[in-house]
């Protein structure tokens, strides 16, 4: 495969790095589709770099969302209760292929990578 190094601070994902990632992910896509995806990923990286460049006060806590839910205002965790769908035959009826009440899906091809 050759010697590849990843530079997280590089400006863009170059074609060789992208091709290597496609190989590792075992993706099957055409040249035009691959180039489109590479460009979109580079756009995402650009936005991430722009967000990372925003100066923040060191005291600003990291959050996963905009509302800080402290323990006193957080809703309690609800119990996980299994609730069967009342008409499973409606779901089964939408499947293109069914066998003995189970939805049949195509096999996923597996390729052994070196």
Name the residue ranges covered by the structural domains of the chain: 30-56
Tokens representing 74 are 């957080």
Taking residues 25-31, what's their average pLDDT? 91
Compute the Cα dihedral for 37, 40, 46, 47 and give only its sign.
Answer: negative
Which distant-in-sequence residues (6+ apart) come within 8 Å of 42 by Cβ?
12, 13
Average pLDDT over residues 10-35: 90
Percent of the chain with pLDDT over 70: 89
Pair of tokens at residue 79: 């119990």
With beta carbons less than 8 A apart as the criterion, state whether 16 and 3 touch: no
Do residues 4 and 16 make contact, with C-beta atoms less than 8 angstroms apart?
yes
Q: What is the pLDDT of residue 58?
A: 85
**pTM score, whole prediction:** 0.46
Q: How confident is the model at residue 8 (pLDDT cuts 50, 70, 90)?
A: low
pLDDT for the residue numbered 57: 87
């Amino acid at each position: 495969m050759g010697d590849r190094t990843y530079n997280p601070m590089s400006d863009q994902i170059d074609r060789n790095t992208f091709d290597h990632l496609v190989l590792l992910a075992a993706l099957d896509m055409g040249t035009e589709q691959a180039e489109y995806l590479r460009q979109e990923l580079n756009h995402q990286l650009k936005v991430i770099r722009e967000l990372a460049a925003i100066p923040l006060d060191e005291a600003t806590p990291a959050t996963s969302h905009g509302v800080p839910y402290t323990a006193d205002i957080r809703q309690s965790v609800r119990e996980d209760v299994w609730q069967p769908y009342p008409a499973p035959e409606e779901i089964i009826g939408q499947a293109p292929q069914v066998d003995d009440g189970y939805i049949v899906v195509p096999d996923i091809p597996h390729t052994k990578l070196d």
